[in-house]
Amino acid sequence: MDIILVQTVVNGLMVGMIYVLMAIGFTMVFGIMRIVNFAHGEFYMAGAFLFAILYGSNGLPFSISVLLAIGATALLGLLMERIVFRKFRGNELNGMIASVGVALILQNSALLMWGSSARTVPPVVSGVLSVGGIVFPWSRLVVIIGAIVAVVSLNLLIGHTRIGRAMRAVAQDAEIAQVQGIRVDVIFPVAFVLGVSLAGFAGVLMAPVLSVSPFIGLAPTLKAFVIVVIGGLGSVPGAVAGGLLIGLIESFAGTFVSASLSEILQFLVVIAVVLLRPQGLLGRKEREA
């Protein structure tokens, strides 16, 4: 196979993995709490910012910076769930509007606290790995490995633990799960915090690759939306498939045509999916009410 083609595929999968990380958290929060979280990208931004400050500006050790950044994002998520999202779970429209308000508050709090100028974070590892002419920059590889570890551990958590089973039960039918003795009021915050922590982790991973500013949250939110509409809202495998697909589209359009065409192409894919398979590629059909 042509080397450029292989490199394009590799690049696409690398970009796609970060999208997968964003979309999984987003789709989890929807699947379990029925909340479309427009503030999802703001948790990504918070993770990136905290990491930039701890690791980039204050020079804390890498591992401690990562843990602190994710911990603080999780705490922020817990706080937001307590104060706002708890009141709107199950109420799709109002919950979504409320999340827009939360996005405004978080984004502009970051603006007030940290200013609007973009920050850069020194790369964690530099250099490239070259395998048979295909180039893997180490800074990117760290991102990919981190994302794969996160996705696999989440999958194990959902598939093989008690709390994971409980979350699946709540996602299927919160009322019946409650009757079965599942503490729904515990599952909701757990799912929400888990979801936004994944976004925070994505932010941490991406901070050394991108420049960090208060406004970086909206683009990944849009990506997460597009991916879950393609994959099926609430479906974790759908988020993985959709994320990788969008990564590939971006990579191919970026290499062979233009970056902006990729956005339009993604939108057309969304429209096509909506026309042909409204529940998304791997989504379940909504049960009739």
Partner 1 sequence: MNPPTTKPMSYVGIAVAVGLAVLLPWFAPNQFYVHLATVGCINLMLVLGLAIIARAGQLSMGHGGFALVGGYVSALLSMKGWPPLLTLFIAAVVAAVIAAALGWIILRLRGVYFVLVAFAFSQIAVLLALDMSSITGGANGLVGVPPISIFGYVLRAKPQFYPFALVCALTTLLLTWLLYRSPLGTMMAATAENQRLTESSGIDTHRVQVIAFTVGSGIAGFAGALSTHYLRFISPDSYTFWESVSYLTMLVVGGRDGVLGPVVGVVVLTPLPELLRSTEGLQHIIYGAVLVLCLMFVPNGLASLIQTWRSRQRVATTGAARVAEEVP
Quote the distance between the C-alpha of residue 47 and its chain's center: 11
Minimum distance from residue 63 beta carbon to partner 1 (Å):
32
Instruction: Tell me the three state secondary structure of residue 119.
Output: strand
Rounded to the nearest 5 percent, the helix, strand and coil shares of the chain are: 75, 5, 20
- Pairing mode, strands 128-131 and 211-212: unpaired
Of 105 and 141, CB closest to partner 1: 105
Report the first-to-last Cα separation within the chain, whole angstroms. Answer: 50
Could you say which of 75, 157, 264, 285 contacts partner 1 (CB under 8 A)? 264
Q: Which stretch binds partner 1 (CB under 8 A): 43-51, 66-74, 200-208, 218-226?
A: 218-226
Q: Which is nearer to partner 1, 122 or 278 (CB)?
A: 278
Give the C-alpha separation, 51 to 64, whole Å.
10
Out of 142, 184, 190, 218, name the contact with partner 1 by CB under 8 A.
218
| Least distance CB 113 / partner 1 (angstroms) | 9
Q: Phi first, then psi: what are they for 131, rounded to 5°?
A: -120, 110
Alpha-carbon distance of 51 to 44, in angstroms, equals 11
Angle separating helix axes 184-206 and 162-172, nearest 10 degrees: 110
Distance CA 23, CA 137 (A): 24
Residues in binding contact with partner 1, number by CB under 8 A: 41
CA 222 to chain centre: 10
Applying the rule CB under 8 A, the residues between 11 and 50 that interact with partner 1 are 30, 36, 38
Q: Which stretch binds partner 1 (CB under 8 A): 170-178, 189-197, 247-255, 270-278?
A: 270-278
Angle between helices 218-231 and 3-33 (to 10 degrees): 90
Residue 263 within binding range of partner 1, rule CB under 8 A: yes
Query: Is residue 281 a contact point for partner 1 (CB under 8 A)?
Result: no
Out of 173, 175, 185, 286, name the contact with partner 1 by CB under 8 A.
286
Gap between the Cα atoms of 166 and 37, Å rounded = 21
Closest contact distance (angstroms) between CB of 218 and partner 1 is: 6
Map residues 78-97 to x or -, x wherever contact with partner 1 holds by CB under 8 A.
------x--xx---xxx-xx
Q: What is the footprint of partner 1 within residues 97-156 (CB under 8 A)?
A: 97-98, 100-105, 107-109, 111-112
* Extended beta strands in 166-268, E state: 211-212
Return the residue of 10, 163, 209, 222 that touches partner 1, per CB under 8 A: 222
Q: Which stretch binds partner 1 (CB under 8 A): 16-24, 54-62, 165-173, 222-230?
A: 222-230
Instruction: Tell me which DSSP letter residue 52 carries.
Output: I
Nearest distance in Å: CB 209, partner 1: 22
Angle between helix 40-51 and helix 184-206 axes, rounded to 10 deg: 50
Residue 271 in contact with partner 1, rule: CB under 8 A: yes
| 3-class SS of residue 181 | coil
Q: Which is nearer to partner 1, 163 or 218 (CB)?
A: 218
> Which spans of this chain sit near partner 1 (rule: CB under 8 A)?
30, 36, 38, 84, 87-88, 92-94, 96-98, 100-105, 107-109, 111-112, 218, 222, 225-226, 228-229, 233, 260, 263-264, 267, 270-271, 274-275, 278, 286, 289
